[in-house]
Every structure is written in C-alpha cells, then in structure tokens.
Amino acid sequence: MKYIFELFLTTLSFLTILPSKRISKNFGFKMFIFFPFVGLLIGIVCFLLIKFFKRFFSLEVSVIFTLFFYVLISDYLHLDGFVDTIDAMFGSIKKEYVEILKDPHIGVVGCIFLFMVLLTKYFLFFNNKELVYILTPVFSKTGLVFVGLFGRKLTDGIGEKFLHKSFFVTILSSVFSL
C-alpha cells in the first residue's frame, strides 16, 4: 500500500507544481496508472474553483481565474510541449526539428496556436458544463498515456522512460479514466 501511495505522490508531483518530499526515479512508466486520477483531481478542483469564483465574480472572470489555475497547477507542462511541437512542425525543414524543440524561445506560429488553445479552453469552460471542468484534465492526462505508448522519441530525454513500456498499464489507466 505504501508503494502505491508513493507512486501516486510521485505522479502528482510529476504532473503538477505540487512538491513531493520523496520522488522515486524508479517508477517510470508505472506512473501512467495514476495519470487519469491526477487529471480527475485537477478537474474536481477546477469545478470547485469555478463554483467558488462565481459567487463573487461574473462568469467571464470566474472562467479566467479557473483557467489560470488550470494552466498553473500543471506547471505549463502541456502548453510548453504543445507550443514547441507546433513551432517544430511548422517552423522549418525536418532535420532542424529537434533543434527547434530544444529552443527555449517561442515562435510566431506557436504563439498563435497557444492563443487558440487557451481561447478554446476559455469557451469550453465558459459554456458552464460541469463535466467539462472535470473531464478536460482527465482526458488530457490519459492522452499522455497513449502518446507514451505509441509515440516515438527524437532524442534521449525525460520521455524515454515512458515510451513503449507497457500496453497493460496503458489499458489499465484508460479504463480508470472511463
């Protein structure tokens, strides 16, 4: 039981800005099991936040505060990777792809797509569907599991310990997300 709790805390620390006193590097792909649970936890907090903010602010302002929390709590993990990927895809020729991914600067195309993603999330949250607040983080974290299973690495990096490791773990985490 202690192992499972440590695995959950490590996953929570990996996917959010919340620190964990003891992070094990040995968990690797096993963290996939808890990706949907961490997404669910973030979703529930977003749901509670929007309900709280709506007591004091308009729906528009409440959505902005909640969206800010959603981006902040996940330590910009998805947005940074998304922008880097868009810049690399639309930036140049294929052999420079890895160099563009490693570049810490954001390109014009990445900036435009970042704005479009945030605007889309704003309108999804603004439509005031309670399930959207909860399910968006669940599906985004579950999507990472499938990227880990079916994706390919370009260079050695943090994602290497997740790629192609366990079909069973992927299916298990997907079932939990349903």
According to the 3-state scheme, what is the secondary structure of 135-176?
Answer: HHHHHHHHHHHHHHHHCCCCCCCHHHHCCCCCHHHHHHHHHH
Q: Are 132 and 70 in contact (CB under 8 A)?
A: no
Q: Are 47 and 134 in contact (CB under 8 A)?
A: yes
Q: Which two tokens stand for residue 6?
A: 């440590």
- pTM of whole model > 0.85? no
- The domain segmentation of the chain, as residue ranges, is 2-177
Average pLDDT over the chain reads: 74
Structure confidence by residue, pLDDT tens digits, 112-153: 888 988 888 888 777 767 777 787 777 777 666 666 565 555
Structure confidence by residue, pLDDT tens digits, 89-115: 776 666 576 677 677 778 888 888 889
Residues sharing a CB contact under 8 Å with residue 118, sequence separation 6 or more, in sequence order: 67, 71, 79
Residues sharing a CB contact under 8 Å with residue 166, sequence separation 6 or more, in sequence order: 29, 30, 32, 149
Q: Which two tokens stand for residue 162?
A: 């997740």
76 phi-psi bin (left φ>0, alpha ψ -120 to 50, beta other): left
d(C-alpha 101, C-alpha 87), whole Å: 8
Range among 27-41, 54-68, 164-178 with highest mean pLDDT value: 54-68
